[in-house]
Amino acid sequence: MRISVVNGTIETSDVDTVIVQHFVGEAAPSGATGALDSALRGAIADVIASGDAGGALGSTTVLYPRGAVSAERVVLVGLGPTQGFDAEAVRCASAGAARRGRELGARSVASVVLGAGVGGLDVGSAAQATVEGMRLGLYDFDRDDAFEAFSLVERDEARVEAVEDGVRWGEAVAEGVRLARDLVRRPANVATPEHLADVARGLATDHGFTLTVGDRAWAEERGMGAFLAVAQGAGFEPRFLVLEHDPTAGRDAPIVLVGKGVTFDSGGLSIKGRQGLAGMKEDMAGAAAVLGAMGAIGRLRSPRRVIALVPATENVIDALAYRPSDVVRAGNGTTIEIISTDAEGRLLLADALVHAATYEPRAVVDVATLTGAVETALGSLACGLFSNDDALAAALIASGERTHERAWRLPLWAGYRDRLTSDVADLKNSSGKGGGGACVAAAFLERFTTYPWVHLDIAGVRSVERTEGYRVKGPTGFGVRLLVDWITRA
């Protein structure tokens, strides 16, 4: 799809479909919508007055100009009420309008910058949200053929540059999310550790990143006994990816992103039941989010030094699979008693967090579908956030609010650490019974950190059961937009 910015008017756009906006309670169309209404001899005002177009968020009404303007059809999309209006509403409205256009067979589409007039958003943010909503709302697995061309139309020449910048950001972020969604949706026999390595190779080629693809021998040299324990039974060879964007030539301390890459989680010998196995190809959603964020960072040519670490393996069973009661040694020498082989993600992350310290990072954020407990606690509206640094936690929470990828901070109290005490090792990988599983898992990870750190448990937000706004049924790509927003401001 070609996306462009046009300095002109919506009523003169030479496309088959135009998109304009209105709010709940708006008596008459204004701004660009009003200009189009004049060209249509009041047709938009009439449909609003009739009550057929009430302005509910994401609702659409289609009008046919019959030669009054060049476009074959007009999609009037509701932005909801003006009170509380924000960029999230723009994303949802843009997604709804775009899907309606696709249903109607639109090939060339022009839209006003949703929310930039009466809505009060700055035009750059509104343009970014419009493009994000359109691209994500039209998401279709491994396909990108909805429209041939999409343009944002801005009449004021003085604002065109800001619109173009917003479009650039919106495209970059949306492509990162789409990559993450694609990776999570692919079956586990396709999205293997080596497949993730291939994706990383593509990112490195496209954006000039430095890439290391570590194999078993590479991990053994670094003492990654926790990661390798999970990989013992794997049929597909494990990979440890190190992807670096370094525009500072090593001068700046990096931000390190860590993504859990369990490409299929059977639970190992602590095997999951039939229902528990459903969806376990999605246990690499953290890795997908980190790779998607790196793609966006590369497209945006971020001035920040960012390193992504992705420990990738499947957690399956064969004669060599690790067992409950095994004791394994992580890269920092910590010994770990295995209570449950289904608490494997924290073992991958432990070695990745130890490895992160070798880069002397300014901050580390790990992203993982770590526990079902966090979904019980927070549902699908927010991820769980844990941190050893209040300022870093606050920054991530703020980015979550701006992007609507919300994070809710949960505690790391000493009592959770105490539940990891082992009689035969430095700690155990699971506390068993007692509740608070997300907090206990985060307390385990904290043992392997020596720097400002945030853990995002995204198990409850990795996918949705039905389409709502720009979140299309299936994987959400949660974390990409949050991470990019935070890194941009870090």
- pLDDT tens series, the chain, 490 aa: 999 999 999 999 999 999 999 999 998 899 999 999 999 999 999 999 999 999 999 999 999 999 999 999 999 999 999 999 999 999 999 999 999 999 999 999 999 999 998 788 999 999 999 999 999 999 999 777 789 999 999 999 999 999 999 999 999 999 999 999 999 999 999 999 999 999 999 999 999 999 999 999 999 999 999 999 999 999 999 999 999 999 999 999 999 999 999 999 999 999 999 988 989 999 999 999 999 999 999 999 999 999 999 999 999 999 999 999 999 999 999 999 999 999 999 999 999 999 999 999 999 999 999 999 999 999 999 999 999 999 999 999 999 999 999 999 999 999 999 999 999 999 999 998 789 999 999 999 999 999 999 999 999 999 999 999 999 999 999 999 999 999 999 9
Beta strands in 362-406 (DSSP E): 363-368, 383-387
Phi, psi of 379 (to 5 degrees): 65, -145
Q: Are 227 and 300 in contact (CB under 8 A)?
A: no
Q: Are 255 and 341 in contact (CB under 8 A)?
A: no
Pairing state between β 407-409 and 363-368:
unpaired
Across-strand partners of 256? 307, 364
DSSP letter assigned to residue 290? H
Pairing state between β 17-22 and 108-112:
parallel
CA angle 434, 425, 348 (to 5 degrees): 75
Query: Does the active-site annotation cover 272?
Result: yes
CA angle 79, 461, 274 (to 5 degrees): 135
- Hey, what's the torsion of the CAs at 438, 444, 447, 448, to 10 degrees? -90
Q: Rounded CA gap, 267 and 265, in Å?
A: 5
**Which domains does the chain show, CATH number per domain?**
2-154 (3.40.220.10), 178-489 (3.40.630.10)
Phi, psi of 399 (to 5 degrees): -65, -35
pTM, rounded to two decimals: 0.97
Query: Does the active-site annotation cover 305?
Result: no
Helix (H) or strand (E) holding 72: none
Phi, psi of 261 (to 5 degrees): -120, 55
Q: Are 262 and 335 in contact (CB under 8 A)?
A: no
Q: Rounded CA gap, 38 and 397, in Å?
A: 44
Of residues 346, 447, 471, 481, which has the active-site annotation?
Answer: 346
Of residues 107, 201, 222, 272, which has the active-site annotation?
Answer: 272
